[in-house]
């Protein structure tokens, strides 16, 4: 099998990505572009072919253990693949969550329900009441969390939000929705 250096420059994954964009690359070429190079015993294209196969097989269940089973794949290369997936998951594959009642907010803030310290959370909404972003604005003391309006509204304005939900946990988590529109 040809190594990357043996390939014509226009056919190399990174050069192809630059010329034609990432959508022009196959799964194997995308993995090759992420990994960059293989190891002394295994060519990067061989590793990429096996990793692409694992990705198709396991999808979102792909784990570090799966990747480490591939010959030539060490912790560094496996971490690169999983880190790329996590970035995509966090920033590109966001599930649209629509909020029309207070009960629908509770799952969004369940992570602060049992906290001992007071947490003040801001949830930005678009015009269709879909969640844009959820942020912990402040973490206070046992029974109070000082909040300045500048800290609350700076991100809401940057999000160009049409609505906002404020939540705090004080012993029992409760939420009430009041429409706030500009």
Closest among 142, 135, 140, 150 to 119, alpha carbons compared = 140
Q: Has this prediction a pTM greater than 0.85?
A: no
The domain covering 102-173 belongs, at the CATH homologous superfamily level, to Cytidine Deaminase, domain 2 (3.40.140.10)
Between CA 47 and CA 94 the distance in angstroms is 29
Closest among 97, 96, 98, 102 to 178, alpha carbons compared = 102
**Per-residue pLDDT tens digits of the chain, which is 182 residues long:** 667 888 888 888 899 889 888 888 899 999 999 998 888 889 999 999 999 999 999 988 899 999 999 999 999 999 999 999 888 877 776 677 888 888 888 888 888 877 788 888 899 999 999 998 888 888 877 777 788 888 888 888 988 999 899 888 865 444 555 554 44
How many CB atoms lie under 10 A from the CB of residue 125?
23
Domain ranges of the chain: 4-91, 102-173
Tokens 């792909």, residue? 62
Between CA 95 and CA 110 the distance in angstroms is 17
Please state the φ and ψ torsions of residue 140, each to the nearest 5 degrees. Answer: -100, -145
């Amino acid at each position: 099998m040809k190594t990357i250096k043996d390939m014509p420059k226009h056919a190399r994954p990174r050069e192809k990505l630059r010329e034609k964009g990432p959508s022009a690359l196959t799964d194997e070429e995308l993995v090759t572009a992420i990994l960059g190079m293989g190891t002394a015993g295994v060519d990067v294209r061989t590793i990429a072919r096996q990793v692409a196969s694992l990705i198709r097989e396991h999808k979102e269940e792909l784990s570090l253990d799966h990747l480490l089973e591939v010959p030539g794949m060490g912790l560094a290369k496996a971490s690169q693949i999983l880190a790329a997936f996590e970035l995509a998951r966090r920033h590109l594959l966001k599930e649209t969550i629509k909020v029309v009642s207070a009960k629908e907010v509770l799952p969004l803030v369940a992570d602060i329900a049992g906290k001992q310290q007071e947490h003040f959370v801001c949830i930005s909404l678009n015009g269709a009441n879909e969640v844009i972003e959820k942020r912990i604005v402040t973490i206070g003391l046992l029974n109070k969390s000082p909040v300045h309006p500048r800290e609350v509204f700076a991100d809401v304005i940057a999000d160009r939000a049409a609505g906002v939900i404020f939540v705090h946990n004080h012993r029992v988590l409760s939420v009430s929705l009041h429409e706030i529109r500009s």
